[in-house]
C-alpha cells in the first residue's frame, strides 16, 4: 500500500529526513509529516560562519536559524541533528560563485547548493540514517509518472514556485525527494505553523544570498578573487571608451543603474568581457536575445533529449514567466531558440525547460547559459500557436 509520500509502507514504518533551515516552510514540512505519523528526523546544515549574519533580517541561514530549527524539532517531538558542511559548501558553492562572477557571469548559487549539497551530500546522509525519503520545504510538486517514476512540476502558486532552482535534480534523486508544500499557498503554511504552535510562524522569508549577510556580494568576491575587482573600461558596442569602472563584479547583463556615465539615451550592460575587463554597454535593443547555448544540461523529461527539435517553454531567470521556445540537442551541444526573444539573458544564469507555461507545468530539465546570440527571427509559425 502506498502512503501519502507515495512510498510503500505505513507512515510509522517510514523514516523521513527533513532538511530544516529554521524557516517556516521546512518547519511546517516537518510538523505535517510528524502529524501524519511518519518517523521524522530533522537535519540542519551549518554551511558557513553564522556570526556576521546574526542580526541581518531577511538573510537565509542567519545565526538564529539553527536555534529555531532545534526549537521546532523539540516542539513537535523529533530528533534533530546539526551537520557541519562548511568546508564542502565553500568548495562547491562559495568558491564556484566567486569564480563565475570573476569570469563575467551571473551565477545562481542556490542552484549549485541544491545540486551539490542538499540533493547529493545530504541525500547520501539521509540514506545512511535509514530514511526512505528526504523532504524539503521547497514550493514544487512531485508526482508519479506513467512509468511509476517521480516527475517534477511547478508549484500551483506561480508566485511561490521554486522549480527554477531545482532543474538540476536527477531522476534518481527524485525517487527519494518529496515536497509536501507544493500545492499550498504561503498564507496556509503560516496558518499551519500557528496551529502547530511553532514560534517561527511569522518569521521573515529569506531574501539575500545566504552567505552574503550584508547583501554586498562584490565584497565576498573581491576577497576570494582580488583580480576580479580590478578597474577597467566601459565601452560602447563599437569599442569606444565611455568611462571607467572599479571591477566587472559590480555589473551584470541588463543592468542600467550604477554606470556613472553621461549619455543622450539610457544605456544598459550588454556583456562583460572578463579577459579585457571591459563592460560593454548599449541601447536596450542590444539586450534582445534569440539564441541561447547551454552547458551542464540535465534532462528529466520523457525519453532522450538528443535527436529531435522540441517545442518547450523556458525560464531564463527565476522571476520571469516561461516563454515559448524550441530546444535542440546535437553534436554541437544544446541550444534554445526563443520564439519571441528575451532581454538581458546573462551567461551563468539557468535556462529551465517546461512542458507548458501554466502553473503545475512539468519540469523537463535545464542547463546553464554559456553564451547568447541576437539572431534574426526565422520565418515560421510561433511555437505553440
Q: Side-chain half-sphere of 20: how many Cα atoms within 13 Å?
A: 35
The helix, strand and coil proportions of the chain, stated in percent and rounded to the nearest 5, come to 25, 30, 45
* Cα four-point dihedral sign 320, 323, 325, 328: positive
Residues 6+ apart with CB under 8 A from 40: 15, 16, 17, 18, 30, 33, 34, 76, 78
Q: Which of 60, 110, 113, 351 is catalytic?
A: 113
Contact yes or no for 107/220 (Cβ under 8 A):
no
User: CA 171 to CA 209: how far, in whole Å?
Assistant: 27
User: CA 159 to CA 28: how far, in whole Å?
Assistant: 19
The set of cell numbers assigned to 217 is 556580494
Question: Could you give the C-alpha distances from 256 to 24, 176, 239, 260, in angstroms and in order?
Answer: 35, 43, 18, 10
User: CA 344 to CA 72: how far, in whole Å?
Assistant: 42
351 is catalytic: no
60 is catalytic: no
Neighbours of 373 (CB within 10 A): 12
Q: What pairing do the DSSP bridges indicate for beta strands 363-373 and 288-299?
A: antiparallel
Catalytic residues: 113, 210
Amino acid at each position: 500500500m502506498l502512503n501519502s509520500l507515495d512510498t510503500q509502507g505505513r507512515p510509522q514504518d517510514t523514516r523521513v529526513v527533513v532538511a530544516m533551515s529554521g524557516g517556516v516552510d521546512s518547519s511546517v514540512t516537518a510538523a505535517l509529516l510528524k502529524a501524519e505519523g511518519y518517523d521524522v528526523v530533522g537535519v540542519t546544515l551549518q554551511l558557513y560562519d553564522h556570526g556576521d549574519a546574526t542580526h541581518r533580517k531577511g538573510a537565509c541561514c542567519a545565526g538564529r536559524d539553527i536555534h529555531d530549527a532545534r526549537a521546532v524539532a523539540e516542539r513537535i517531538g523529533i530528533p534533530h541533528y546539526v551537520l557541519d558542511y562548511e568546508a564542502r559548501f565553500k568548495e562547491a558553492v562559495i568558491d564556484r560563485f566567486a569564480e563565475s562572477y570573476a569570469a563575467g557571469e551571473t551565477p545562481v548559487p542556490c542552484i549549485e547548493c541544491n545540486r551539490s549539497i542538499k540533493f547529493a551530500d545530504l541525500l547520501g546522509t539521509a540514506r545512511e540514517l535509514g530514511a526512505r525519503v528526504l523532504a524539503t520545504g521547497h514550493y514544487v510538486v512531485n508526482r508519479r509518472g506513467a512509468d511509476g517514476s517521480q516527475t517534477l512540476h511547478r508549484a500551483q502558486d506561480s508566485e511561490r514556485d521554486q522549480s527554477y532552482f531545482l532543474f538540476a535534480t536527477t531522476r534518481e534523486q527524485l525517487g527519494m525527494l518529496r515536497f509536501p508544500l507544493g500545492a499550498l499557498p504561503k498564507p496556509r503554511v503560516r496558518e499551519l505553523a500557528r496551529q502547530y504552535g511553532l514560534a517561527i510562524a511569522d518569521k521573515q522569508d529569506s531574501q539575500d544570498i545566504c552567505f552574503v549577510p550584508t547583501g554586498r556580494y562584490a565584497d565576498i568576491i573581491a576577497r576570494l578573487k582580488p583580480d576580479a575587482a580590478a578597474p577597467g573600461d566601459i565601452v560602447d558596442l563599437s569599442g569606444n571608451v565611455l568611462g571607467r569602472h572599479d571591477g566587472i563584479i559590480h555589473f551584470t547583463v541588463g543592468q542600467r543603474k550604477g554606470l556613472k556615465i553621461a549619455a543622450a539615451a539610457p544605456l544598459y550592460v550588454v556583456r562583460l568581457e572578463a579577459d579585457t575587463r571591459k563592460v560593454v554597454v548599449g541601447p536596450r535593443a542590444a539586450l534582445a536575445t534569440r539564441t541561447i547555448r547551454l552547458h551542464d544540461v540535465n534532462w528529466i523529461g520523457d525519453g532522450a533529449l538528443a535527436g529531435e527539435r522540441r517545442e518547450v517553454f523556458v525560464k531564463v531567470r527565476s522571476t520571469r514567466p516561461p516563454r515559448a521556445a524550441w530546444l535542440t540537442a546535437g553534436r554541437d551541444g544544446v541550444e534554445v531558440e526563443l520564439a519571441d526573444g528575451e532581454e538581458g539573458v546573462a551567461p551563468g544564469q539557468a535556462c529551465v525547460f517546461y512542458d507548458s507555461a501554466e502553473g503545475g507545468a512539468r519540469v523537463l530539465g535545464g542547463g546553464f547559459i554559456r553564451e547568447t546570440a541576437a539572431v534574426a527571427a526565422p520565418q515560421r509559425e510561433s511555437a505553440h500557436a
